[in-house]
Amino acid sequence: MQTRTEAQKYTGIWPVMLTPFNDQREIDWYSLEKLVDWYLAAGVHGLFAACQSSEMFFLSDSEARQLVKFIVEKVDGRVPVVASGHTANAISQQAEQLSAMCETGIDGLILISNRLALAGEADQQALASLQQLTAALPKEIDLGIYECPYPYKRLLSDEIVAWCAASGRYTFIKDTCCSLPTIKRRVALSQGSRLHLANANSQTLLASLQAGCQAYSGVMANFHPALYVWLFEHWRSEPEKAAQLADYLSTAALAEGLDYPVCAKFYQQQIGNFSSIACRSKNSQSYPDSFYPAAIESMVRLGEALQVHLQL
């Protein structure tokens, strides 16, 4: 394992972790252990647990904390782990929920932007809620924000990004704006601070790295994390290969529309990590009878062929 400086702690490839369930839709701890090993073998730089991909809105608070604690113990300091589980509505309940998550041993706690204000409420309300929550949370924990699309997407205003950068508390934004101009603006707003921008969008990833973005935290790291690790670590030194790989990753990421997270769980089952494709957030029963499995298998084969062709 490479030694990384404090400034590098929140850079690199951060998969948004799946939660494996058995057919009774209980957490499958054995499959989760294999999933963590698989991520680490791919060389990822950190893990994001209890996020939307983890089906956090369908976990109890107790389950979410148990899940994260298991992951932290399994990782055992080999990479940093951040987690959210931020699903409550009232600010007082959110503060209790988030404070309890801090006790799992995580490196960073990730707030969800749409929990800060209702849909249609002003950015000033979101900022006020953010400031209130920040003051209520343990000062020793690193903080972050995720622009989670569920139950609605609230993009961060420039004022909120600037406040997070100036606060000294925030280290990580999981950016889902999918807009290169916005990403560039956010990079500029966070310049010289502890705040790192993690792009979730594969189509803008290479250009965002070139613009100063420091990380990727997206769903496609549940299919081919090693390719994202290679891109992050070699885009400067091997730009031609990086451009070809980025073209593939950009196209392959359209697979996210093939009933995610079921499609990712199908893939994990195919490679022997998961025992079931069961989800709590979606009905997965009809998935095997659709054209989706064949599309996922084609995507994976193309990626493997490209990896050989480019000698990655």
Beta strands (DSSP E) in 93-244 are 108-112, 142-146, 170-175, 196-199, 215-216
Peptide bond into 151 cis (omega under 30): yes
pLDDT digits (tens, 9 = 90+) for 49-105: 999 999 999 999 999 999 999 999 999 999 999 999 999 999 999 999 999 999 999
* Contacts by 227-232, CB closer than 8 A, 24 or more apart: 227/303, 227/307, 227/312, 228/13, 229/12, 229/13, 229/42, 229/43, 229/44, 229/45, 230/312, 231/205, 231/206, 232/12, 232/13, 232/45
Per-residue pLDDT of the chain (312 residues; tens, 9 = 90+): 456 787 899 999 999 999 999 999 999 999 999 999 999 999 999 999 999 999 999 999 999 999 999 999 999 999 999 999 999 999 999 999 999 999 999 999 999 999 999 999 999 999 999 999 999 999 999 999 999 999 999 999 999 999 999 999 999 999 999 999 999 999 999 999 999 999 999 999 999 999 999 999 999 999 999 999 999 999 999 999 999 999 999 999 999 999 999 999 999 999 999 999 999 999 999 999 999 999 999 999 999 999 999 999
Residue 310 CB neighbours (<10 A) = 16
Give the C-alpha separation, 59 to 281, whole Å. 10
Cα distances from 68 to residues 64, 65, 75, 121, 280, in angstroms, run 6, 5, 10, 31, 18
Q: What letter represents residue 109's amino acid?
A: L
Give the C-alpha separation, 223 to 179, whole Å. 23
In this prediction the pTM is 0.96
CATH classification code of 6-235: 3.20.20.70
